[in-house]
Copies of this chain bind each other. A is one copy, B any other.
Amino acid sequence: MTNLITRKRTPTISDVAAAAGVSSASVSRAFTRADLLSAATVEHILRIANEIGYVPNHVARALSTGRHGNIGIIVSDLANPFFTLLIRAVQIEADRHDFCVFLGNTDESPRQEDKLLNRFSGQVEGIILVAPRLTNEKIHAHAEKRALVLVNRDMPNVPRVLIDSSLGVTEAVAHLAELGHRSIIYVRGPPGSWANQQRRSAVQAAAKTRGMEFATVCAPVPTFEAGRSVVPQILASPATAVVAFDDLTAQGILAGLAEAGISVPRQMSVVGCDDVLGASTYPPLTTVSSRPDEAGRTALSLLLDVLRRRDVKDVRYSLDTHLVIRSTTSRPAERDRCPNPDPALTAHAVS
**Main DSSP-derived SS at the A contact region:** mixed
Q: Which of A108-146 contact B (CB under 8 A)?
A: 118-123, 144-146
Q: Mark A44-82, 1 if CB is under 8 A from B, else 0.
A: 000000000101111110110000101000000011010
Residues of the B chain whose Cβ atoms lie less than 8 Å from the Cβ of A31: none
Partner of A102 from the list B79, B100, B280 (CB cut-off 8 Å) is: B100
Instruction: Tell me the complex Cα distance, A107–B85, Å.
Output: 12
- A: residues with CB less than 8 A from B are 8, 10, 53, 55-60, 62-63, 68, 70, 78-79, 81, 84-85, 87-88, 91-92, 100-105, 107, 118-123, 144-146, 224, 251-252, 255, 258, 278-282
Residues of the B chain whose Cβ atoms lie less than 8 Å from the Cβ of A87: 78, 103, 105
Partner of A81 from the list B60, B79, B279 (CB cut-off 8 Å) is: B79
Instruction: Tell me the complex Cα distance, A78–B146, Å.
Output: 27
The residue of chain B having its C-beta at the shortest distance from the C-beta of A124 within the complex is B100
Q: Cβ of A10 and Cβ of B255 under 8 Å apart?
A: no
Instruction: Tell me the complex Cα distance, A105–B81, Å.
Output: 15
The residue of chain B having its C-beta at the shortest distance from the C-beta of A73 within the complex is B103
Residues of the B chain whose Cβ atoms lie less than 8 Å from the Cβ of A78: 84, 87-88, 91
Q: Cβ of B79 and Cβ of A10 under 8 Å apart?
A: no
Instruction: Tell me the complex Cα distance, A250–B29, Å.
Output: 51
Instruction: Tell me the complex Cα distance, A120–B259, Å.
Output: 47
User: Can you list 30 pairs linking A and B with CB atoms under 8 Å apart?
Assistant: A8-B144, A10-B121, A10-B145, A53-B145, A55-B122, A57-B122, A58-B122, A58-B123, A59-B63, A59-B68, A60-B122, A68-B123, A78-B88, A79-B85, A79-B88, A87-B105, A88-B107, A91-B103, A91-B104, A92-B105, A100-B102, A100-B120, A101-B102, A101-B103, A102-B102, A103-B103, A252-B280, A255-B280, A258-B282, A280-B281
